[in-house]
Chain A
Amino acid sequence: MPSFMNAQSMWAILIVVVAIWVGGLWVAGYFVDSRVEIFRLSAARRGLGLEGRLVRDFGVRPPRRLEMRQLMDLRRIMLLAGRKESPGAYLAKSFGAGLVTAAVLTVADLLPIAFGGQPAVSFVLPLLIGVVIMLAGIADLYTRAARRQLALDRAIAEIPSLLAVLISTRSMPLADAVVMIAKAQQDPILAETLDPANWRDLIAACPETRPLLAELQAQPSAGSLYMALGTACGSANMRELGIAARRIQETGEPAKGVCLALARSLQDQQLHNSEKLVVRAENLTVLPMVSILLALFAVIGPAIYASMMQGFTS
C-alpha cells in the first residue's frame, strides 16, 4: 500500500468527499422545500428578495431541483426539440449509431490480425469514438431544444406591436390575431407551438401544467393556454403574453394598451440584452491578446526549435 494511504488520510478524503456531496446537494436546493424556493423566487421578482450581490448579478434562478427534473425529462426535451418519436426510439437510434460505429471501427482495427499483422490502434479508441457518437446524438437533442426555446421567445417578442394594430383596426379576437401573426413568421416555431395537436402534448409532458390540460381542453382561454405553454416550454415571453391576455379578458382593459405595454417591456428587455452583449465584448479584450501571443508562439516557436536542432532545410 502506498505510504500516503494511511488511516488519517483516508478519513480526510472521506470528510472532503462528504462535504462536497452535502455542499452539492445544498447548492442544488435539496435541503430547501420547493415551496420556500418558489416563495423566495416570487419575492425576489417583486424586488423584495433578501439575496445579496451574487444573486443580483447572476439573476434569480428557479429552484435547481425543478431545473434538474426538467432537464432529465427526456420526453419533454424531445417535444421542445420538435421531435415526434418516443424517447426510447430516439435513445435506441443514438445508442445504435454509437454501437455500429464502435463495431465497424473494431472490425477495421482487428482486420490485420487475419493476415498475421497487429491491430493498428488500441481497441479502446473505437469504443471511445462509439461513446462520443452516442453522446453526440443526445447532445444534439438538447441543443435543438435550447435553440427552439430561444427562437420561441424571440418569435413572441416581435408580435405585441402587430397585435396592438391588428386588434385595434380589425376588431379581431386576440387568439386569432396571435395565430395569424405566428403563421406569417418565416420560422414556423410559434405557429407549430400554438397548433392544438402540439400544445396538448407539450402541456401533458410537463408535470407543472399537466393538471391544467383537462380544463384547457374543455374551456380554452387564450391567457391560460399561453401561461401554461410558457411554463411547459420554459418561455418567459409566452408567460408574459399569457398574463397580458388574462388582463384583457378579466379586467376588460383596452387590448391595444395592454399589447403596447407588453411590447415596450419586451423591447426594454432586448435593449438591456444588447447592452449586456456590448459590455461583454468590451470585457473580452484579453482573448485576442492571448490568442495573438499563442499564435505567434505557434508560428515562430517550432521554427526556432528546428533551427536549433538541425537547421531549417534539412
Chain B
Amino acid sequence: MSQLLSSPATFYVLVLLAFGMLATIAWVGFGGGPSAVFSLQKGSALMDRARDQAAAIGMPWRGWVVLRVVLLGIGILIGYASQIPVIAVLAIAGTLGLPSWIVRMVASRRGLKQHEAAQQRLEQLVGEISRSRIPVNQALHNMAIDAPAALTRILAPLAGSGDIREALIEVAERGRTPEMEQIAMLLLLARTRDPKVMVANIEDVLLPRLAGDLRVDRNLDKLMTDVRLKAVIMIFVISGLFVFLDTTQSFHSFYGTFLGQVSLMVAILILTGAVMVLNRMTRPPARVRWSVRRLMELEGVYDA
C-alpha cells in the first residue's frame, strides 16, 4: 500500500484529480457558473457553428453533422490500424479539427464570390429602379429572379410573393455571413415609399460600403490562402516523411517504443505550435454578426 501511494503515478493521478476539482471551482468562480456548463446554450452555440459551417459550403446542416461523424469514425479506424498510440490520437484530433479548418478556407472564397455577385445585383437593382421607375418591392423581387448561382439559394425568399420585409430577414438568415446580414439590414432600413431615397441610400451608402468590404475581403482571402498553404506544406512534408519512414520495419518498431512515441509527440508539438503561431499572428479580427430580426423588432417599437 505504501509503495503504491508513494509511486509517482499515484501522485500524478492525484494531481489530475486536483486539477479537475480546481477547474470546476475556477469555472464556477470565474466563469458563468454551473448553468453555463450544463445549459443548452452551449449546445446551441455548437449547433449554430455547425449551421454556419454548413451554410458556408452550401450544405444542409444535418448532412454536415453526419459527414463530421463519418470522418471521426474514419479517424478512429486509421488510429486503430496504425497501432501507434500517438498516431491514433493524432488521427482522431485531425478528423475532428481538419474539416472546420478546411471549411474556413472554402467559406472565405465562397463568401467572396457571393459578395461580388451581390454587389453586381445591387448595381442592377439601382439601374432598374432609376430607369423603369418600378416600385421598390417589385425591383427587390426581380433581384431574386435569375440570380447568379452563388446567390440563388440565399435570394430565393425574395422571389416568392410573401411580405418583402420578412423575405429580406430570411435572406440574412440564409446567408449566415456578416456581409449578407449587412446588405439585408441596409436594404430594410433604406426602404421608403420614395424610390429615389432608396436609390440614393444604395448609391451613397451600400455600394461604397460593399466595395470597401470587398477590398478588405480580398486581402483577407489572400492572407488566409497564404497561411493555410504554409501550414499544409509543413504538415504534408512531415507526414510524407513519416509515412515513408514508417514503411521500413525498423523505423516502424522504433515509433512503437516509448522514445519513438516521445519523438513523434515532439514533432507534432512543433508543427501544431508553428501553425498556431502563424494563425495567431495573422488572424484578422472577427466581423460583427447581426440579428436582423431583432433590428426590425426594435424599429417597430420605435416607430410605434
Instruction: Give the interface of A toward B (CB within 8 A).
Output: 93-94, 97, 100-101, 104-105, 108-109, 111-112, 115-118, 120-121, 129, 133, 137, 140, 150, 154-155, 157-158, 161-162, 164-166, 168-170, 172, 176, 180-181, 183-187, 256, 260, 263-264, 267-268, 270-271, 273-275, 277-278, 280-282, 284-285, 287-288, 290-292, 294-296, 298-303, 306-307, 312-313
Contacts and interface: CB of A to CB of B under 8 A. Distances in A.
B274 A288 contact: yes
Contacts of B105: none
B267 A298 contact: yes
Contact of B290 (A164, A186, A275, A284): A186
Interface of B: 1-3, 5-8, 10-11, 14-15, 18-19, 21-22, 25-26, 29-30, 178, 182, 185-186, 189-192, 197, 201, 204-206, 208-209, 212-213, 215-216, 219-220, 222-223, 226-227, 230-231, 233-234, 237-238, 241-242, 245, 250-251, 253-255, 257, 259-260, 262-264, 266-267, 270-271, 273-274, 277-278, 281-282, 284-292, 294-295, 298-299, 302-303
A184 B266 CA distance: 46
B131 to A, nearest CB: 22
B282 A115 contact: no
B251 A303 contact: yes
A96 to B, nearest CB: 8
B210 to A, nearest CB: 10
A172 B302 contact: yes
B238 A292 contact: yes
B289 A186 contact: yes
Identify whether the interface residues of A are mostly helix, strand, loop, or mixed: helix
B18 to A, nearest CB: 4
6 contacts: A116-B2, A161-B186, A183-B298, A267-B212, A281-B223, A306-B259
Given A93-B30, A161-B205, A274-B223, A267 B213 contact: yes
A267 B2 CA distance: 68
A271 B30 contact: no
A288 B263 contact: no
Contact of A313 (B2, B216, B238, B253): B253
